Amino acid sequence: MSILITGGAGFIGSATAKVCAQAGRRVTVLDNLSTGRMDRVRWGAFCLGDIRNVEAVREVLRLNGVTTVVHLAAYANVGESIAKPAEYYSNNVSGTTALLEAMLAENVRRIVFASSCSVYGNTASLRLREDHDVQPMSPYGESKMIGERMLDWYGHAYGLQAIKLRYFNVAGADPEAGLGEDVETSLRIVPRALKAALRDVPLQLFGTDFDTVDGTAVRDYVHVRDVADANLRAIEYLEGDRPNAVMNLGTGRGVSVRQIGAEVGQALGKPLQLQPHPRREGDVPYAVADAARAGELLGWRAAFSSLAEIVDSAVKHCHPPTLDPARPQPTGA
């Protein structure tokens, strides 16, 4: 089977390309390299292009005999989406619409859609299930909710087979391939903590007055290796002609921002400085998954997602590779 991974030069996309290739799938990566990197493209053919270009996507699908799409090409930061909603709706909503148009035109009827826990918004529930109401609090979360609903209607009207995976907070690095996040550009908390350590500056805590264990936001962190494995299992699920579904990918364990900072400091052998800042618009206090459905339907569980494993792999395999305690550390300003 031939798999197209949109956004395949990114953090999650490259890990997914690896597991698909190792499983014997023919992989094609489509990426416009706005945030992806060519050094991540090591498995499968690469096509430079934007998902909003319907004719270009059709050609990629046709020439590579694609049977299933894993759709990861999205902007994915809550705060940035509030500041730049037009970019998020253009890329995440218009881009998904164009991708689906190209798929239908080329009779490609299977898609694994990377959704997000951001669709849930602020909820009092301590364990989020897929049947909870979705009330996103940001353009990013709303763009994912719109994508999910589009897939529901496309399934009803056109017979599209779709798995919607609501990723919780993806982190860590694949130690076998050295695929870590870019500490200079990533807005996720673990690489931000690593960047603060590298520069010997305080880690900014956006919100210290949440109703949580230590006042900082609590999230469910899931290792990128586990997410890539779930993506492959979702492909296999669709190939079995089973019903469309939505499911959470998480561990069921909550970790606070302060706990992340402490774990990174311990891994690097020096405590991080912490600097309180006001809450960011759109941030929720608590988001932890009930991932039972993914276990039931995909046989999936988070196997590499302890906090220690996530942080240790991120420290050793971040980009640029300067934070491993076993390597010489930078000096000076």
Q: What pLDDT is stored for residue 140 in this prediction?
A: 97
In a domain, 23, yes or no: yes
Residue 77 Cα distances to 37, 124, 198, 226, angstroms: 18, 22, 22, 21
Which residues, at least 6 apart from 191, have a Cβ–Cβ distance to it below 8 Å? 181, 182, 183, 314, 318
**210-241 pLDDT, tens digit each:** 999 999 999 999 999 999 999 999 999 999 99
Say whether 26 sits in a helix, a strand or coil. Answer: strand
Which residues, at least 6 apart from 313, have a Cβ–Cβ distance to it below 8 Å? 172, 173, 174, 175, 180, 223, 304
In a domain, 201, yes or no: no
Examine the pLDDT at 110 and tell me if it is beyond 70. yes
Q: What pLDDT is stored for residue 176 in this prediction?
A: 84
Residue 123: pLDDT band with limits 50, 70, 90: confident
Q: Which residues pair with 167 in a beta bridge?
A: 116, 249
In a domain, 278, yes or no: no
Chain-centroid distance, C-alpha 107? 27
Which residues, at least 6 apart from 296, have a Cβ–Cβ distance to it below 8 Å? none
* Catalytic residue from among 140, 154, 167, 221: 140
Count of Cβ atoms closer than 10 Å to residue 309 Cβ: 18
Q: What percent of the chain has pLDDT over 90?
A: 84
Minimum mean pLDDT among 38-42, 196-200, 315-319: which range? 315-319
Examine the pLDDT at 325 and tell me if it is beyond 70. no
| Known active-site residue 237 | no
This prediction's pTM: 0.93
| DSSP per-residue string spanning 152-200 | HHHHHHH--EEEEEEE-EEE--BTTTTB--BTTT--SHHHHHHHHHHHT
Examine the pLDDT at 88 and tell me if it is beyond 90. yes
Instruction: List the domain range (segments joined by +) for residue 67.
Output: 2-171+222-249
Q: How far apart are CA 180 and CA 194, in angstroms?
A: 12
Which residues, at least 6 apart from 281, have a Cβ–Cβ distance to it below 8 Å? 79, 82, 138
In a domain, 203, yes or no: no
DSSP 212: S
In a domain, 13, yes or no: yes
Which residues, at least 6 apart from 154, have a Cβ–Cβ distance to it below 8 Å? 100, 104, 160, 162
Higher pLDDT, 273 or 326: 273
Nearest residue to 244 (alpha-carbon basis) of 303, 157, 302? 157
**275-323 pLDDT, tens digit each:** 999 998 888 999 999 999 999 999 999 999 999 999 999 998 877 654 4
In a domain, 207, yes or no: no
In a domain, 196, yes or no: no
Q: What pLDDT is stored for residue 321 in this prediction?
A: 57
Structure tokens belonging to residue 233: 């299992």
Number of domains the chain contains = 1
In a domain, 230, yes or no: yes
DSSP 128: B
Beta-strand pair 255-256/218-219 = antiparallel
* Per-chain mean pLDDT for the chain: 93
Q: For the domain that residue 61 is a member of, what is the CATH number?
A: 3.40.50.720
Which residues, at least 6 apart from 216, have a Cβ–Cβ distance to it below 8 Å? 205, 207, 208, 210, 256, 257, 258
Q: Is 332 left (phi over 0), alpha (psi -120 to 50) or beta?
A: left
